[in-house]
Amino acid sequence: MRHMATPTGCVRPPKTAAKKKIRTGGDIRPLASAKPRTYGAIDLGTNNCRLLIARPKDGELVVIDAFSRIVRLGEGLHHNNEISAAAMDRTVAALAICADKLRRRNVDLSRAVATEACRRASNAQHLADRVYAETGIYLDIITAAEEARLAVLGCHNLMEPGNGPALIFDIGGGSTELMHVDINKHDVVIRDWVSAPWGVVSLTEHAPVAEDSLEARRASYAHMRDVTRQAFAEFAARAQRHSGKKLRLLGTSGTVTTLASVFLDLPRYDRRAVDGVSVPAQAMRDISRRLAEASLPDRAEIACIGRERADLVVAGCAILESIMDLWPAERVGVADRGIREGILRTLAMAGRDIPVTRREFRK
């Protein structure tokens, strides 16, 4: 693995870190000595740790390895403003698996980014130092603007064709990004965007779901909706200028892929069935309300939700409905791709291994 320069504004690894380990970072310029052929991308979010490894082939990036694990990095962060020891342990263990895959796949160039949990936590530097010392992975704690940019780069090719105003959203664990975009063939420009401090983990901790009764669950859901509506209020006011036009809407997150799986009645999650599907907005609302009113055990029994997502999915539904309120498109496009694909595309274009105009990923 090549040693890359530390980019301005990123968390630096400790001076005493072990040498001859995997280095990942934000400076994506390949060295002139050799052309990178295999790329890696790690997205460390508030809830999940995800890895993709890809190689260019025939002008496309073909994914050759992947990894995903729920680590709940942001668990308790809303109340304590720091990452817990248990969350750090889970995260380092997951990143150790990622590091092993990067080595075994002989990755030439990679980047590992951390998002809202690390932006918010007072001890994010300690996590970054520990991750580097124990795995060799250098965490690049990116801004909300960079997170939005990478998400758009990774999924915008799945936007519904047309000329109407387009919105891409990413419901994360600790924050939600909304991006009003212009898409012209293979080019995309972000015209307006907002990052709200509510994701499925942070909103659940701020406004826990009351499980005592149906009425209590309905009241909890209404409170979640109020919180997210207020967070989106300024962006929603700017979005009103598009009323009366045919709007297009595309989501990239575990929330929309989970709800799409429920809509398709899948016995287990299947990326090939979900990635690129378009779901009627009313169906998304109906599923959201059904999940919000169901008890925790009942939610856990639904295929593609399970125990790991059952306590967080209601917050995702509340955020999604608030987004559909401010951007009332007829359908919701679903993308099982985002930040990692955005990273891979950026790395490959910097290495000139794929043309700038090619946007597809094959998995």
Total of domains in the chain: 2
On whether both 82 and 219 belong to a single domain, the answer is no
On whether both 171 and 138 belong to a single domain, the answer is no
Tell me what pLDDT residue 245 has: 79
Indicate whether 169 belongs to any domain: yes
Tell me what pLDDT residue 27 has: 39
Indicate whether 361 belongs to any domain: no
Mean pLDDT for back-to-back runs of 10 residues, the chain (363 residues): 32 38 42 66 96 90 94 92 96 98 95 96 97 96 95 94 93 95 83 95 93 94 97 92 84 95 93 95 98 95 89 96 96 96 91 48 38
On whether both 230 and 261 belong to a single domain, the answer is yes
CATH at residue 104: 3.30.420.40
CATH at residue 175: 3.30.420.150
CA distance 264 to 95: 32
Which of 142, 165, 193 is a domain's end point?
142
Tell me what pLDDT residue 35 has: 55
User: 318 with 218: CB under 8 angstroms?
Assistant: no
On whether both 82 and 183 belong to a single domain, the answer is no
User: 287 with 305: CB under 8 angstroms?
Assistant: no
On whether both 315 and 188 belong to a single domain, the answer is yes
User: DSSP letter string over 325-351?
Assistant: HHS--SEEEEES--HHHHHHHHHHHHT
Tell me what pLDDT residue 357 has: 36
Indicate whether 217 belongs to any domain: yes
Range of the domain at 267: 156-335
On whether both 161 and 271 belong to a single domain, the answer is yes
Tell me what pLDDT residue 360 has: 38
Which of 142, 173, 205 is a domain's end point?
142
3-state SS, residue 267? coil
CA distance 204 to 323: 17
